[in-house]
Amino acid sequence: MGHTLTIVKRELASYFITPVAYVFIVIFLFLTGIFTFYLGSFFERGMADLTPFFVFHPWLYLFLIPAISMRLWSEERKQGTIELLMTLPIPMYAMVLGKFLAAWLFTAIALALTFPLWITVNYLGTPDNGVILAGYIGSFMLAGAYLAIGAFISSISKNQVISFVGSVVVCLLFILAGFPVVLEFVSGLAPQWLINTISQFSFLTNFESLTKGIIDGRFIVYVLSMIGCFLFANAVMVEMKKAD
């Protein structure tokens, strides 16, 4: 655990030594405001809740999370510092987990800075704060799934642009997996049980219950499984690159 914390501190500090972290947070807060108050018709709905805020998160994360994850391993390989990192007496799992947790913690900081929205709805009415809390928990965990995918893609290429595009494409596939149009398209090409299985991997399908205040154990298992699988693939890929 000590090695993991060392990597977390190193990575988290690297975010804030450049303006990139602050630019990301500003963009994130700006877009959440746009999605909530304009696209989500916050005031027109006449309801004191944050449903318009959370419902757009799977789409908001589609571009913002890959922007965080694209540098995790690509930058190390591009600058040649990955060789130095590999010579340190730190287990591979600690490096992979530490980088991921630092990115996840950074995302949590950005998400926590949207807290004024929570205060606003409580000022305007009497919302169900349990539903809002569930939404925040779900959003945080969803971000973890996106980050795990992004970390794996970042370990494949030393080009950050390629890592970004690759992460967006893979995450988009997980979003579209539950779309009725997509399911109808593949209905004639695959058996029903396979279609149902594919739909269960959709970010939208799994996140929907959280926006309604329902913390489903299946969602937690889904996210942790996604994180575990992609971080394992991340570690395998880094080991392969190390061997090269």
Domain spans, the chain? 2-243
Which amino acid makes up residue 2?
G
- In the prediction, which pLDDT does 46 show? 63
- In the prediction, which pLDDT does 105 show? 93
pLDDT beneath 70: ranges in the chain: 1, 39-48, 76, 78-88, 178, 182-199, 206, 209-214, 241-244
Among 88, 67, 52, smallest CA distance to 160 is for 67
**Distance between CA atoms of residues 35 and 41, nearest Å:** 8
- Long-range Cβ pairs for the range 33-40 (8 Å, 24+): 35/60, 36/117
**Distance between CA atoms of residues 99 and 50, nearest Å:** 31
Q: What is the pTM of this model?
A: 0.86
Neighbours of 190 (CB within 10 A): 12
**Distance between CA atoms of residues 158 and 160, nearest Å:** 6
- In the prediction, which pLDDT does 101 show? 93
- In the prediction, which pLDDT does 111 show? 92
- For 31, 64, 114, 123, 184, the CA distances from 28, given in Å and listed in that order, are 5, 7, 9, 23, 34
- In the prediction, which pLDDT does 48 show? 65
- In the prediction, which pLDDT does 9 show? 86
